[in-house]
Amino acid sequence: MLALVTGGTGFVGYHVVAALRDQGHQVRALVRDPMRAQALLALGADVCVGDLATGAGIEAAVRGCDAVFHVAAHYSLDRRDDALMYAANVEGTRRLIEAVRHAGGPRLVYTSSTAAVKLRHDGKPATEADGFNDPDKVYSTYKKTKVLAERLAIDAAKAGMDIVIVNPSTPVGPYDVKPTPTGRIVLNTMLGRMPAYVETGLNLVAVEDVALGHLLAYARGRRGERYILGNRNMHFGDLVGTVARLAGRRPPRTKIPFWVAMSVAIVDDYLLSRLLHHTPRAPVDGVKLAREPMYFDATKAVQELGMPQSSVEDALLRAITWFREAGMAPVSK
């Protein structure tokens, strides 16, 4: 099978490429910057250059493929990136769907996010059946673009295209190059730069399980269905405490009240970042996201796809080990 993967230079995309290669499939990776694709070439993937935000190279990349995994997305909580997120996440998805349609419709697995899943307010984890977040009421532009893009995928499936949607929660593990927001939490805890935290909750999942979930969605997923790729719901304090213990650091113990965090974020986001021309360290949208726990239930993916539920603690340890081997954190004594 020849599979096209978008976003292969990113965290999840890299692991999707690795999982496909491990199963003996040919992989064509669509990348914007070939200079960042050395790791994909090392996996044995072919690289083609294109840009979802402009449409360049998309039709050529899809041509001849048996499967398409659309993993790419631009993530930012900086309002200066809003236009780029719309261009890449929404219009880029629209362009890719059209290219797949023109190519005769190989099965498309679209990587959405639990950011598009509506949270419950009764204390229970959200499921696929809880529907979509209202794009006009969500806190961040990223969330809005993921809702809009997933709706494009579902509408195309309703019109007859063979599309399956996956909604990863919060992946953790090795090869978090950028790193992702969760990777930064792990790294900052390792470096002792997490003296305090706002109490919230996340659903953590091994990134390797997320990657395999993509392949299982291709093989077993039902057309037009969405599958939450998640595992363990954790309090934020438990997350940073676990990372600190695994990394041999003292865990942060100070909980910051939400109003304090929001006050700091407003000053940083609306004043300091504009005066000093830097990306806000504590964006307002990021603090708003922490207002309520983001807990999810992956039962559907486990039962219908056979998605594994590997140890989250082991995944955090692999992340810690990789950050040290990559020189991003010192080796413990």
| pLDDT of the chain, 333 residues: tens digit per residue | 999 999 999 999 999 999 999 999 999 999 999 999 999 999 999 999 999 999 999 999 999 999 999 999 998 877 788 999 999 999 999 999 999 999 998 999 999 999 999 999 888 999 999 998 888 777 788 989 999 999 999 999 999 999 999 999 999 999 999 999 899 999 999 999 887 777 889 999 999 999 999 999 999 999 999 999 999 999 999 999 999 999 999 988 877 765 465 566 555 555 555 555 556 555 656 555 566 789 999 999 999 999 999 999 999 999 999 999 999 998 865
178: number of Cβ within 10 Å: 11
Tokens describing residue 177: 């190059």
H helices of the chain, in order, are: 11-22, 38-42, 58-62, 82-85, 92-102, 141-158, 181-190, 207-220, 236-247, 258-267, 273-276, 284-289, 299-300, 312-325
- Asked if the 2-176+205-231+295-310 domain carries CATH number 3.40.50.720, the reply is yes
Query: Comparing C-alpha atoms, which of 216, 190, 191, 199 is closest to residue 298?
Result: 216
Contact 94, 152 (CB under 8 A): yes
